[in-house]
Amino acid sequence: MSKYILPFIFVFFATTSLYADAGNVLFSYQKVEIGSKTDWVLVPKPNASLKGNASKSTIITAFNALKKAKRSTYGSSTISVSGSSPSNARVSIKISAAKMPYAVIIIAETVYTLTEMGVSGVSFPGYTSALLKRKDVPFSAYTLIMPLWKVLPNIKSNSIQVQLPDGKIASSHEIIKSWSTKDPTLRKQVYGYLNSPDPYTVGTVAKLLPTLGLPFVEKLLPLLKHNSASIRKTAMKVLEKKRNQDKVLNAVLGVMKSDKNPKIVLQAADFLSLAKNKKYSIQKTYYLINKGTQAQAIKAMGVLGKSKSSPDSIAILNTKLSSKTKKIAFAATDALSALNENPTLIKALTDKKVNSDTKLKIAGLLSNKKKENKVVGLTYLSNNANNDIALDAIVKLGAMKLGSARISLEKLLTNRKVKRQLEALNQLSSLKKTESLPAIAKLSKSYPRKTDNAGYAIMTAQNSKIISEQTKSSNKFIQRLAYLALGEKASKEGKSSKIFAVLKTGLKNSDSGIRGASARAIGRYANKDAEKALKGMLKDRDNNVRADVAYAIGFLKEGVLTDELTKMLGDTTPAVQAGAISSLGRRGETFAWDKIKALASSSDEGVRAAVLTALGNLISREDKRGVRDVISLLSGRVSDSSKFVQEAAIIQLGTFKDESAVTSIALRLNDDHEPLQLAAIRALGATKHPAATELLVNMLDDTNRRVRLTTIKTLVELKDKSSKKGIENRAKIEKDSDVKKALLKSLKLI
């Protein structure tokens, strides 16, 4: 029987594992067109069910596979097999009577298939008593011509010839024998397939190399840049076996950074994520941050925040701070904060590309750090956050006791928002550092009373030596405060004649402010020398100095220079009037009651405020009628046109433990002017009246956190246990962490 050979037609099998044994081939009788000629030949076909040795079950499986594939030809034909080995097996096929016209086809197909598996021959009862072999089949068949890479490592068969890359044909038996000797020429030829123009060949050989035991890393790395995406993908998949080699990781990293195919980039990222070296395993995280969905990017940034920082991770997170998507920018901020990359965050606060919301987020995180980082965060919040948060940040700056925090507070004195200026002033006052006095001096023209009080608190906190040195300052504001503070020191630390001499010198200073301050300080000596010195200043050319002299006389004994004070009540300068009123009130000069009360309707707010304070001091708390009159007067001034007078009235009402006083104070508990609100809260506590407690507990629900904090402090000072329930209820719903801490702490103190 001759064979009909088609030298350039190849039948490629799905996988080489199907041909580990020589017989895993099914032959099918098919029509084949070759050029202009048509013929019927036996065509070899792969069949995945024919694995393993050609045992009885394998032979039967092969027959049934043919029968299933060609039902119309085989019908109900059956097979019987006896014997154990393929060459000794006795195989008999009974052809269905209904399929007699196809008997020759059945015989040809089954003989070719089963002899391929090692069976020596097949009998067909009713057709022939002899065993039929291949030579007895009356049809032509393909000779299977396969490329070299298809038969490796050990596929050999009488039906297979191998075509080498140079075009030569050799038997599979010959090729497998040469391969087993590690023939270098054959190995070189296998590698040559990686240069094939056929992507299928390249990809298949790439996958084959590891199974052949050939070194493949250096050969496959160039394929990561192949024009075919499928080849790049295959090469990367095969290289997973050498994942942790640096050259492999670097090459795949290059793919991730430069490949234009998103799927391959993701494959590269997945590849790197399993590397042992964290330098590479983190790369997928970077990819998700830059190319993933929003949710993936946010999650990936969270992963970075828990990892060890690196220049790459910091750089990537830094770029995301300027994202227009708030969630992305916030996630980057959180990650950098978790990594303690504070310099990066601080720099972002001045980056124009970073939006204001993100900057506030950054500042908030920095404000929870320590030392200088905290100062930067609080400073930014003080200048840029909403009012409540800004004011709270200013308070926290004041509590830090750091030079940089103090400098930030000093700069805040120039803030355009009044509340922030004044809170910074208040904090500087509590810090008591003379270094802050020049900055406070610049604000003195805008807020003379408040800056005087703050500067005075700072100056009096110093020792006498430092204060004396400050009297030589070139800054008149500071110099004046120094003279004023010397009087405070004299009253508390001893009336030094040396200091008195300095103060007398101040009375002759060309600056009216310094003369006035010296006068006030001398008044604190409250002796004959002081009386003489002040009497000599009654006719000073400057009205403000005379006002200070009037105020200073109030420190002298009752009755001393009383006539002079009384005359000053009728002075045309309101400041002089106010000073005299204040002194008479402090000294308890009750004879002046009517004269002082008559000035309650003065057009000058300073005079009206002084009257309210003086009357509160002059009235005896035992004088029920007088108390009612004063409270009535004070209550009317709670609605005065001047905030300054209102505050004076509220403070004085707080000195009366009276229900009507409590009621009047309550009118300003919800005032839009925060200082009045806070003054009203403190005044309620000062009354010690039982009715004050309930009003204060209600203030715990105010939207202003500073109001809530002041209320808590006042309730603690009251120590009324009936307030505990209200505090507990507020603590359950309070969202501000600082306020909540204060609430819980207060429960232990009341």
What are the φ/ψ torsions at residue 322 (nearest 5 degrees)? -95, 10
Q: CB neighbours (10 Å) of residue 750?
A: 16
- Neighbouring residues of 742: CB distance < 8 A, sequence distance ≥ 6: 709, 712, 713
3-state secondary structure 650-682: HHHHCCCCCHHHHHHHHCCCCCCCHHHHHHHHH
Contact indicator for 137, 114 with CB cutoff of 8 Å: no
Query: How far apart (Å, rounded) are the C-alpha atoms in residues 334 and 19?
Result: 59
pLDDT by 10-residue block (mean), the chain, 750 residues: 30 29 65 63 69 78 90 94 84 94 91 88 90 84 76 78 86 90 93 92 93 95 96 96 95 95 94 92 92 94 90 94 96 96 96 96 96 97 94 94 95 95 96 96 93 95 93 95 92 86 94 95 94 95 96 95 96 97 96 96 97 95 94 96 97 96 96 94 97 96 93 96 96 93 95
- Among residues 504, 499, 512, 509, the alpha carbon closest in space to that of 532 is found at 504
Under 8 Å between Cβ of 23 and 118: yes
Could you give the C-alpha distances from 180 to 23, 149, 170, 299, 537, in angstroms and in order?
Answer: 21, 14, 15, 53, 123
**Counting beta carbons within 10 angstroms of the beta carbon of residue 361, is it exposed (0 to 12), middle (13 to 18) or buried (19 or more)?**
buried
Q: What is the pLDDT of residue 168?
A: 87
Q: Which of 203, 114, 277 is nearest to 106 (CA)?
A: 114
pLDDT score, position 158: 67
Return the H-helix or E-strand segment holding 473: none
Q: Are 611 and 600 spatial neighbours (Cβ–Cβ below 8 Å)? A: yes
Taking the C-alpha atoms of residue 493 and residue 212, their distance in angstroms, rounded to an integer, is 100
Q: Which residues contact 487 (CB under 8 A, 6 or more apart)?
A: 503, 520, 521, 522, 523, 524, 525
Which domains, from first to last, does the chain contain?
A: 16-142 (no CATH), 619-749 (1.25.10.10)
Q: Is 270 exposed, middle or buried (0-12, 13-18, 19+ CB in 10 A)?
A: middle
Q: 3-state SS string over 589-651?
A: CHHHHHHHHHHHHCCCHHHHHHHHHHHHHHCCCCCHHHHHHHHHHHHHHCCCCCHHHHHHHHH
User: What are the φ/ψ torsions at residue 113 (nearest 5 degrees)?
Assistant: -70, -50
pLDDT of residue 12: 31
3-state secondary structure of 70: coil
Cα separations in angstroms, 273 against 276, 280, 283, 288: 9, 7, 7, 11
Compute CA distances 667 → 629, 636, 645, 663, whole Å: 19, 11, 15, 7
Question: What do you get for the CA distance between the two ends of the chain, in Å?
Answer: 115
Q: What angle do CA 212, 171, 5 make, to 5 degrees?
A: 125
- The label of the residue with tokens 């040795």 reads 53
CA distance 370 to 359: 18
518 and 542 Cβ atoms separated by less than 8 Å: no
pLDDT digits (tens, 9 = 90+) for 123-147: 999 998 789 998 888 776 666 677 8
CA–CA distance, 259 with 59 (Å, rounded to integer): 50
Confidence at residue 14, expressed as pLDDT on a 0 to 100 scale: 26
Q: pTM above the 0.85 mark?
A: no
What residues contact residue 358 under an 8 Å CB cut-off, 6+ apart? 321, 322, 326, 329, 330, 333, 348
Q: Where are the alpha helices (DSSP H) in 117-198?
A: 148-151, 172-180, 184-192
**CA-angle at 638, arms to 637 and 644, nearest 5°:** 85
The amino acid present at 188, given as its one-letter code, is K
| Rounded-to-integer distance, Cα 294 and Cα 202, Å | 38
Pair of tokens at residue 32: 């084949």
Within the chain, what is the greatest distance between any pair of CA atoms? 158
